[in-house]
Amino acid sequence: MLFSSLIFIMVFLPVVFIGSRILRKNKYVNVLLLLASLFFYAWGEPVYVLLMLASIIVNYFAGLALDKNRNKAKLILVLDIIFNLGLLGFFKYASFGTVVLVNYLHVPITPLSVRLPIGISFFTFQIMSYIIDLYRGKFPVQKKIVNLALYISFFPQLIAGPIVRYEDINDQLENRVFTTEKSAEGIRRFILGLGKKVIIANTVAEAADRIYAYNPDTMSAKVVWVASILYTLQIYYDFSGYSDMAIGLGKMFGFEFLENFNYPYMSASISEFWRRWHISLGTWFREYLYIPLGGNKKGKNRTYINLIIVFFLTGFWHGAGFTFIFWGLYHGFFSIIERLGFSKILKKCKPLALIYTFFVVNLGWVFFRIGGLKNAFIVVSKMFTPGLKNYYTLGEMMSHRCMLVAVLGILGAGIIQLIPQKVPAVNKIVKNPVVQYVWCAVIFGISILLLASNTYNPFIYFRF
């Protein structure tokens, strides 16, 4: 079930929201939200909901055991992490691993074909944050299995994040407050995210998919660049739109989730980009991998090694494939280059820094999008081979509506948002409640019309 589906918007969400208002008390609402979350997951993964339940039960009792046996806490922690990573490793990487063994190491085995459970990367990292921080003594053990199960399976952030750390939501599980103002803010945030996804991401995605479906030999450098920019817009509005909807849904039920995006395409370096893009994932890797490895406290060489490890695993976390690994290491390379002194040059010229960062990020998305390193390098080579004959016009590949939406997408990725900061009169208009309600009503109406008339509605991060 997608947030941007009519059945979710018109049936599932109203029923659960009204039910939560009728029950009112958090302990009853938590049960309702848990059952709704399991139903939400089972809608798309009827079998793998059992896997999630098994994971919840194992980690619940692991937490209790860790709390009661502090002298064996480290052993329990290690065994629990092995269990969680084992599940993630099997379902996400077993197929890739056997393909590597057969095709590259020529091991005589039959390649596995394991279906990837939706959202397993996200809820596994959430589970691990609970058990690791419990071991660190950041909070008392959660003795109510309903509360822990809700934290792990809560439907707004279950499928594609943001990755919510337990310490950020612990108190809210029992002590959150429902207010009309918070619900209204949540609805507004959900609608803005819905508009990002349906109006912008879906529109540019159709054109990007159409272009990438062609043989690269039939495309000119201009067309390949257009495709890369369209995908750059698609993945941002797709994922940030989902995060906005998740944050809005959380507010509707009394929860406060941390922001997951902060206009990343306005970054002036790759290091800054990763402080603005998928913030919850970057925070997770920093807290549970980079810092435990030593961070930047053990000398420059160790810092670079730690960065390589983190970015390698960041790429591998996104998908079982060499293109994802390359994409992660690619970003790690530029992060290290900036630490070696290039960041000082970037700070001297902000426009140059913005162009450099967008160029690097945009090029990186080609490897993220194209299946197979060989094909990705072919496409990239086309981008830097001017004068090639173009067998198709841009008009054949993208509609005028797509062109308009793409321009609006570029402006809306941080440029338009600067205007209220610079012009007080505009800021006053933007913050006017009436203007906000009208704006949300227009976005919601257009989104519903598009959903009713178009079946193209994928979410990129569902496969991670």
Q: What is the pLDDT of residue 20?
A: 93
Q: Of 106, 278, 318, 331, which is the active-site residue?
A: 318
pLDDT tier, 16 (very low <50, low <70, confident <90, very high otherwise): very high
Is 322 in the same domain as 378?
A: yes
Q: Is residue 108 part of a domain?
A: yes
Is 194 in the same domain as 313?
A: no
Q: Is residue 1 part of a domain?
A: no
Q: What is the pLDDT of residue 461?
A: 61
Per the structure block, which two tokens stand in for 285?
């890797």
Is 216 in the same domain as 293?
A: no
**Is the pLDDT confidence value at 464 over 70?**
no
Q: Is residue 357 part of a domain?
A: yes
Q: What is the pLDDT of residue 114?
A: 84
The domain boundary, picked from 175, 208, 233, lies at 175
pLDDT tier, 232 (very low <50, low <70, confident <90, very high otherwise): very high
Q: What is the pLDDT of residue 391?
A: 62
- Where b means 16+ CB within 10 Å and e means fewer, 279-299 reads bbbbbbbeebebeebeeeeee
Domain count for the chain, please give it: 3
Nearest to 18 by CA among 30, 29, 2, 26: 29
How far, CA to CA in Å, does 189 sit from each of 201, 244, 440? 17, 6, 9
pLDDT digits (tens, 9 = 90+) for 98-130: 888 888 887 888 888 888 888 899 999 999 999
Is-catalytic flag, 400?
A: no
Is 17 in the same domain as 145?
A: yes
pLDDT tier, 446 (very low <50, low <70, confident <90, very high otherwise): very high
Is 277 in the same domain as 380?
A: yes
Give the pTM: 0.92
Q: Is residue 405 part of a domain?
A: yes
Q: Is residue 134 part of a domain?
A: yes
Per the structure block, which two tokens stand in for 29?
């609402």
The residue behind tokens 């841009």 is 394
Is 245 in the same domain as 284?
A: no
Q: What is the pLDDT of residue 296?
A: 85
What residues make up the domain containing 328?
A: 268-385
Q: Is residue 123 part of a domain?
A: yes
How many Å separate Cα 144 from the centre of its chain?
A: 29
Q: What is the pLDDT of residue 211?
A: 86
Is 122 in the same domain as 29?
A: yes
Is 247 in the same domain as 322?
A: no
Helix (H/G/I), strand (E/B), else coil: 138: coil
- Where b means 16+ CB within 10 Å and e means fewer, 141-166 reads ebeeeebbbbbbbbbbbbbbbbbbbb
Is 170 in the same domain as 317?
A: no
Is 323 in the same domain as 299?
A: yes
Nearest to 316 by CA among 461, 464, 460, 459: 464
The domain boundary, picked from 175, 199, 229, lies at 175
The domain boundary, picked from 175, 198, 221, lies at 175
pLDDT tier, 388 (very low <50, low <70, confident <90, very high otherwise): low
**Is the pLDDT confidence value at 308 over 80?**
yes
Q: What is the pLDDT of residue 427?
A: 81
pLDDT tier, 179 (very low <50, low <70, confident <90, very high otherwise): confident
Is 223 in the same domain as 283?
A: no
Is 89 in the same domain as 200?
A: no
Q: Is residue 274 part of a domain?
A: yes
CA dihedral 244, 249, 255, 256 (to 10 degrees): 10
